[in-house]
Structure 1
Amino acid sequence: MSDHAHPDLTKNQALVFGSLSEAGGPLTAYAILDLLRGSGFRAPLQVYRALDKLVEYGMVHRLESLNAFVACSHKGCSGHGTAAFAICEECGDVSEFTPQEAIRLLKAWTEEQGFRLARTTIELRGTCKACQAVN
């Protein structure tokens, strides 16, 4: 699963992943549904089913604070199970990054607590460099 070309994608999963990849930024399930109506999508459940699998494969991340989904920009994301995003509240730009030191600290804490971690999504909200330059 280290490659984004996951061999077992269904047609719906491939279409949903394609729409997210082309968007280059976060989309809600309803925005995806609107984009894919011409491809036979009729119900939000079809989109959510595809998204659930894509998240499981590590190909897509859910941005909790935006209630939206974004295509993973790192190959092999399913390996580290942690995604971090900087979200600009001015222009809406989303940058994915991997904060190795923060991940190490979080894993150490979960191990100390005996907490079984399923996945971690870190979201930083603020203003990007480009928007700061304009203001």
Structure 2
Amino acid sequence: MNHSHQDTSPPRALTKNEALVYGILNATDQPLSAYAILDQLRDDGLRAPVQVYRALDRLLEFGLAHRLESLNAFVACNHDHPEEAAQTAFAICESCGKVTEFTDPSLDEYLAHWAKSENFTPTRTTLELRGLCAACR
């Protein structure tokens, strides 16, 4: 991912495992599964998948990472989200695997309007667009 932060350190105090997982996610623009993260961190003392999943859960809670539902993989959050734009969308290149994260208040407005008109109460939304990035087209 193209990170907008100059400093790639996490913006809040994290446990050692959370910081290690965040560092791996932040160092790539590719989505990573929990097992791929574990493989990269074995030399740092992480031995069990549960250690990675706990760290990922906290990073998701802090808004420092996102889960890509269709890939069952994780990416570091690459920008601050405005409070009025809660919906995050992802464009996933099916050729190189690059993930581009974006928000747009109109997504929130449209989804809220649709849910209201259908009397539907969403509990979770993940928008993923799959295709080819500009470099791969």
What's the TM-score bracket when you normalise by the shorter of the two chains?
0.7 to 0.9
- CA RMSD in angstroms comes to 2.0
Residue identity (%) = 55
Structure 1 residues 22-59: Cα deviation after superposition (integer angstroms, max 9, x where no partner)? 12321110010011111110011100011011111111
- TM-score where L is the length of structure 1: 0.83
2:38 is aligned with 1:36:
no
Post-superposition offset of 1:127:
1.2
- 1:57 to 2:62 alignment: yes
Offset of residue 118 of structure 1:
4.2
> Could you list the runs of 5+ residues in structure 2 that have no partner in the other structure?
1-9
Between 1:100-109 and 1:55-64, the stretch displaced more is 100-109
Correspondence for 1:100 among 92, 101, 105: 105
Does the aligned pair in 2 maintain the 1:13–1:50 contact within 8 Å? yes
Alignment CA distance shift 1:119-1:56 (3 Å)? farther
The residue number in structure 1 matching 2:3 is: none
Q: Structure 1 residues 119 and 88, CA, compared in 2 at 3 Å: closer, same or farther?
A: same
Residue 77 of structure 1: how far off its partner (Å): 6.7
Letter in 2 for 1:6: R
Number of corresponding residues: 127
Q: Distance in 1 between matches of 2:72 and 2:82?
A: 20
Runs of at least 4 residues of structure 1 off by over 6 A?
none
TM-score of the pair, normalised by structure 2: 0.82
Q: For residues 17 and 100 of structure 1, do their structure 2 counterparts lie closer, same or farther at Cα, with a shift above 3 Å needed?
A: same
- The partner residue of 1:24 within 23, 26, 29 is 29
1:5: which partner in 2?
11
Distance 1:68 1:17 in 2: 13
Which is further off, 106-115 or 80-89?
106-115
**Corresponding letter in the other structure for 2:130:** R
Name structure 1 gaps, 5 residues minimum.
none
